[in-house]
Structure 1
Amino acid sequence: MQPLEMRSHLLTEQVNPDSLNLDQLSSIELVELFNREDAKTIAAIAEAKSSLADAIDLTATALRRGGRLFYVGAGTSGRLGVLDAAECPPTFCTPPDLVQGIIAGGASALVRSSEGLEDRSDDGAAAIAHHHITQLDVVVGIAAGGTTPYVHGALRAARQRGAATIFITCVPIEQVSAEVDVNIRLLVGAEVVAGSTRLKAGTVTKLALNILSTSVMVKLGKVYGNRMIDVAVTNQKLHDRAIGILQDLTELSREDARSLLEQSGRSAKLALLMHWTGLEKAESERLLATHQGNLRQAVLGIIPLNTND
């Protein structure tokens, strides 16, 4: 990791030559500038596609074996990790402990800045111990500028425990190195406001986390086609979405789809399996368990699949 005095040379700390007159721009010019700069986030994701794919495969394999996924960060990076983790249970019906976010300063840092805590590498290591991370788990360190001691302390501690490690940062490896299993470098360049990594760096990090967690869930059978068949039916909107999924994939009427959903215990995945195989709920649950929750594999194991996917 780079010494503190060298952080001003990092890519994320440099001055953007295209925004030197930022305070003189009109509102429409500001929007146009941000739009041009934000387009660089898509290119950065494309450049990092191989490392992102490696991270997806590593994480999916670990979770299939009973491991967990942890995001570790401070400030904006930490908040983005917590956000991605928090959205997995309602979207994919995962248990709350499967994907977890760890942020320097704890829950209070989500709504109130506590950036000073990011300098404590021992706190990062302590967080790893607190969550009882083992060789089954995956730890993703997120640090836009790459130097956050809290994140590096967590990654070192995770490696010592045998966990798989991934590093997501917006600086090139020659500026900040990290001994991890997968290095994801999202090079979006200098920010519109120099050093404000909640901008492009934050946006590209959110994009990367979207890709990582969603792709892992796809690999785990949480999606059929492009439908979130493991959606947690916890409110009216999600209830309607589950019914819509059943209608799309079975051509049932809305009333029949609603009845099937209730018979399945409000599990769209289970309802689909029951409909396609003719099995009762308990039998369908056993069949799904045999195929590690993968609907397509469960159905193909019994009958040729002939649905509108």
Structure 2
Amino acid sequence: MSSVSLGDLSQAFMMQRRSVALRQDMTRLTDELSSGQVSDIKEVLAGNHNYLSGLERSLETLQGFSVANSEAKYFTDAMQSSLDRVQDFSGQLGLDLLLASGGPVGVIAGSPSENAKTQLQGILNSLNADIAGKSLFAGAATDRVPLENAETLLTELSIAIAGQTTPDDIMTAAENWFADPAGFDTLIYTGSGTALAPFSLSETERVSLDVRANDQALKDVLMNVAVAALTDDPALGLTVPQQAELFGTVGLGLKSNQDQLTDLRSRIGFTEARIEMIDARNQAEQTSTEVARNALLLADPFETATQLENVQFQLQALYSVTVRSSQLSLVNFL
């Protein structure tokens, strides 16, 4: 009957422990070789984690600013798209009204005002647009639309210009109502009188975007389109020549409004350029921070490969010794 001495058992335990340690080293070195980073951060940093923690905090902050930059880009892009539609609607209507002002009676009657009503609704829809549930042109009141509907606007404006008998008087009354704080700004504009909160795009820079639906350029567009929509209203009692004159006046007004809208969009374009510049600087800082962090935790591939090869050799040698030891017996010894 064979027996196992204490020395043989100790040797078996020792070889088993050594085998486990070598396999763990091989797993660690394989991970370091594939990831390019050391697995034992404590040993690399010698217990001083302050520098690494600072880099990690900087990266988290920059990622947060990246989200804010994306939000600002989406917001300004949506603003530009809405104002582009407003400019298209009003520009085309202005041309139609100028043509109608010099056309025959059959062209003037009915159709220009109906066209103006359609374009007015499209302009209001564009200015009442939102992105991700936030109104674009309501200032700080992003939870509600900034303008009442077309029917309300036309009703209130018709009250303001009631009793006027000439195109000049009608335009003067409309201008006064849109300029009166108790007029358009109270009855039609439902947004906030406070600008939208600035976007924080870095630790030192903020971008303000104060473009609201009661901006003078937009109010002028709405005034001209709304007056055109009411021109053929029987309550005004305008003759066909007077209607033609009024169409021509608001048509010229819409033509000049194009320059105002271009200036308004250029303000947003300047803000977009700043957002892009700050975003590029943040990305450059994030890249340099990631490089610094990776350099701190970088595992030398050549040294790692050499150590891995050495561990593999030791493990193979251990397996060979284990096999030979298991084949030892008294018969073979004799």
Work out whether the TM-score is over 0.5.
Answer: no
Q: Which has the higher strand share?
A: 1
Q: Which has the higher helix share?
A: 2
